[in-house]
Structure 1
Amino acid sequence: MAEEKTALLDAFIDVYMSSLKHLDEFVSEPTKTFHLSFEQYLILREVTQHEHVTLMDIAIQRQVTRSAVSRQIRVLIRQGYLRQQPDENDRRRLYLLATPTGEQAERLIRQRIEHRFQGWLDIYGEAQAHELLNFIRDFSQITRFKTRDNPHDRT
């Protein structure tokens, strides 16, 4: 690899180690008071915003396995944020419903996330936020496409 490209790669690695790695912590901080991960919050949010949500709906939407979603839902149920209710026509189908505690937690977490995001917008501005969002979308789409076509190429 040419020296210039090696320097660019090193710069990307440095940014990852010093910044991007901590993005998850930044995003999930508002959920910590409720002993939830950001992923668990997103499930709670989905359930509070839509009716008749099932575990399978969430798995399909997130493109993950049922067992991965099931683990997250178990935590939400155990903590009293969600409950399951069988479909009246097909008792095998279980709908996820937010409890009053879950609805309140989702509302408070959403307010904290919105406040945190507004602070970020105040610093960087909407134009830069849109630019970053578009870059991440492009990067994600290209990465998914390449990985799907050639599973050995994880670029």
Structure 2
Amino acid sequence: MTEKTPEGLRAQRAHLIASTGLAEAVLRERAEAFQLYPEHMDVWRTVEGIDCLLDGAEQDMQLTESQAQARGWEEKYFEMVEKYTPIAVRDAALQDHLPVLRRAIEALPETCRYHADTSPRGGWRDEACCDTGIPARRRALAEKALGALSKTKEQI
């Protein structure tokens, strides 16, 4: 697969049009009226394909720029939220979500159906004892994290 830059595609497009000996407008008119030699029609189809690629590249570039701008605004938004939202409000919102998180964690199995101990055994099994023990291991880790989150200021 050959990859070309938009500048390379524009140069190839200009070279193809010049190879026909016709102006681009004349080539377009004759192609629309099906009055081209087969070789020139192939060139025109290639030029149309290059135009599609160039349009897609420009749209991708615009989309990428808009995505970068949106990401920048998103980062600024979260930075402002973090800066200006009081800690007590965030803690209260977290406390509202704790029961939901607890129910989600309780949906995971407590132990592996094959092993009682789900701790990592080393080697390629870094997460749990086996594939069926992964959910149980994740539950144990989530319960530990949830316990740390649910501590109140008095307990800290």
**TM above 0.5:** no
Q: Which is strand-richer, 1 or 2?
A: 1
Question: Which of 1 and 2 has higher RCO (CA within 8 Å, sep 6+)?
Answer: 1
Q: TM-score, normalised by structure 2?
A: 0.29
**Which has more radius of gyration?**
2
